[in-house]
Amino acid sequence: PLWEPPPARHLRPLGAGGAAALPLLLPPRRHLSSRNRPEGKVLETVGVFEAPKQHGKYETGQLFLHSVFGYRGIVLFPWQARLYDRDVASPVTEKNENVASHGSKEVKGKTHTYYQVLIDARDCPHISQRSQTEAVTFLANHDDSRALYAIPGLDYVSHEDILPYSSTDQVPIQHELFERFLMYDQTKVPPFVARDTLCAWQEKNHPWLELSDVHRETTENIRVTVIPFYMGMREAQNSHVYWWRYCIRLENLDSEVVQLRERHWRIFSLSGTLETVRGRGVVGREPVLSKEQPAFQYSSHVSLQASSGHMWGTFRFERPDGSHFDVRIPPFSLESNKDEKTPPSGLHW
């Protein structure tokens, strides 16, 4: 392709101090042709970088570039999550609802802002090998209990991964939901405001969209971030089956190239069962993490015949010399929503 998303280390043009705004330049895709070679690599301005927010949160309608995966996106709304970061854990003696246990190590959750965002459809092909572009899935409300409904081009983005920019384009993001969810208002900053359909969609699907807990741990300079989501309950063969999806991001914080080879999961259910799952790679891939492409993100699903449980495990990585090492997956709980509601039926307008 003519344009590849720049690696994370090249995507901090303003620095911590937030200097003067810089133009955001991307090659025009209209020159791409399946029959002809690209007609040069002339850059065109698509927007102007803004200073990243050191405090506070971004509002609905904020345009941004993802600092790790390089795609253009727009903020739909923020979520306040509890981040359990085992890399900065300090001894905690008291036990409360915001404390996660990890063997003898306890981690206190800190409030952290994440965003529900739309991904520009033009950038999806360029990030497909690094990040799934269908990170949000639902149990479809149909007779078929196995039906799974996916919304393409939705993602959850941490505050520090947002590189904000502005644009004079009234439709700067290409996504089938952009004009259904947002409208242009030049009197506002940012000039894109939520339509009633976005507010109604958020309210209706809140239990399945809400991001509550984020777990993070680093082993051998490989950082693993896990975000679990409750999807709902289904009745199957006179029993209840509870479903969760979980999003995992693997990030190489070192310059050495490594490749993920195996996964090893332990899944504990409140019903008393303990399941072990081993396999090659993840979602059919064995991603390579390098300095140029340091991160890989994917989503998967798990079901239990109980309303809660836990998951933990390891990823096995291979170094260039053929040696292997295991990276810990931080333990995370699978909790069902107390206010069980009817699963969403999808997007119908």
77-127 pLDDT, tens per residue? Answer: 999 999 999 987 544 434 444 545 444 467 888 999 999 999 999 998 888
* DSSP summary character for residue 52: P
Segments in the chain below pLDDT 70: 1-22, 25-42, 89-105, 133-149, 337-349
Q: Three-state secondary structure along 225-267? A: EEEEEEEEEEEECCEEEEEEEEEEEEEECCCCCEEEEEEEEEE
Q: What is the pLDDT of residue 239?
A: 86
Q: What is the pLDDT of residue 66?
A: 94
Under DSSP, is residue 88 helix (H, G, I), strand (E, B) or coil?
A: coil
- Tell the burial category of 146 from Cβ atoms under 10 Å away from its Cβ (0-12, 13-18, 19+): exposed
Under a CB-based contact definition with an 8 Å cutoff, are residues 190 and 61 in contact? yes
- Per domain, the residue ranges of the chain are 48-87+109-211, 215-341
Q: What is the pLDDT of residue 274?
A: 94
Side-chain half-sphere exposure of 253, counting CA atoms within 13 A = 12
Q: What is the pLDDT of residue 133?
A: 66
Q: What is the pLDDT of residue 139?
A: 62
Distance CA 22, CA 48 (A): 6
Under a CB-based contact definition with an 8 Å cutoff, are residues 85 and 139 in contact? no
Q: Calculate the alpha carbon distances from 229 to 79, 254, 302 in Å.
A: 13, 29, 10
Class of domain 215-341: mainly beta
Count, residues in the chain: 349
Q: What is the pLDDT of residue 235?
A: 81
Distance CA 163, CA 65 (A): 5
20-58 pLDDT, tens per residue? Answer: 456 776 655 443 333 444 455 567 778 899 999 998 999
pTM confidence score: 0.81
Within 10 angstroms of residue 88's Cβ, the number of other Cβ atoms is: 11
